[in-house]
Amino acid sequence: MDAQARAVLKFWRNDLKMFSFFSNIRKNNEKSRARPVLGYYGFWVILTYLSAVSAVFGMRFAFDGNIKFAVVCLMVAGLCDMLDGRVASLKKRTDREKNYGVQIDALADIIGFAALPAAIGFAVMQKYGSGLDFDRVASTAIFALYIIAALIRLAYFNVVEAELQSKNERRTYYEGLPTTSISLLIPFVYTVCDMFAFKFADAYNILLMIVTVAFLLRIKIPKPRGISLAVLLLIALPFIAYVIISQGAGLK
């Protein structure tokens, strides 16, 4: 190949590189114009946002001493969290959207299943606790450890989930008790204490201590799907209904 032909080929290569460069700039600009704000707002992530909103309302009720409605908000947050993954699977998402879903779900769980149960706990101690300084300090320590355990469990979950996604694998079981489970356990304790006049403050503290340990135990819990998920929801329905219709007269 003579020098003139090589020069022509070099010219065309440079021209193609410039075309590719400006084409990428145009595509990036189009993406920027199409998304004027950060984040994603498709139907596949709305339930996660609703879970966080319900948790915020629950904390407001807890601060006002309305424990019943705070627990109802916790249950709504739990229901949204149980269903958001199924809704998200209906859409074919990009890798970035999948990663965003994992991260936003964990952040919403921190609000709904770490902060809200602690807020409910403070309301329970204020309303049904002994009022002794020692009990208040002990309860605060329990709530703090509970939140730390929930954070550790959620962070570990995200790390493992990222590894699974990189291998195109799906999770078939949980390691440790899922944080969402607290949205069923607190209504259960609320119902039992109201029906049998147990001390709610003591039962609440014991529950959170047990769950704190369970969050971090390396135990495998099958991930509920299909029929098993439906059965779980049916078991939870009586407790959900009881919390909604009860007046909490038996709590002490």
Q: Give pLDDT tens digits for 193-203.
A: 988 888 999 99
> Residue 19 — pLDDT band, cuts 50, 70, 90?
very low
Give the angle 71-41-160 at the CA atoms, nearest 5°: 70
Average pLDDT over the chain, rounded to an integer: 84
| 75, containing H or E segment | helix 67-88
Read off the pLDDT of each residue in 100-108 and give the average, rounded to a whole number. Answer: 93
DSSP code per residue over 97-128: HHHHHHHHHHHHHHIIIIIHHHHHHHHHHHHH
Q: Give pLDDT tens digits for 25-39.
A: 455 544 545 568 889
Q: What are the φ/ψ torsions at residue 222 (nearest 5 degrees)?
A: -55, 140
pTM above 0.75, yes or no: yes
Structure tokens belonging to residue 208 = 């959170």
Q: Measure the CA–CA gap between 25 and 31, rounded to whole angstroms.
A: 10
Q: Residue 232 pLDDT more than 80?
A: no
pLDDT of residue 3: 57
Give the angle 248-112-130 at the CA atoms, nearest 5°: 40
pLDDT of residue 110: 96
pLDDT of residue 80: 93
Range of lowest pLDDT (102-111, 122-131, 169-178, 225-234): 225-234
Q: Measure the CA–CA gap between 179 and 75, rounded to whole angstroms.
A: 13
pLDDT of residue 34: 57
Q: Which of 120, 172, 121, 127 is nearest to 142 (CA)?
A: 121
pLDDT of residue 32: 46
- Structural domains in the chain? 37-245 (1.20.120)
Q: Rank 13-17, 27-31, 101-105, 143-147 by mean pLDDT and report only the highest.
A: 143-147
More confident residue, 232 or 194: 194
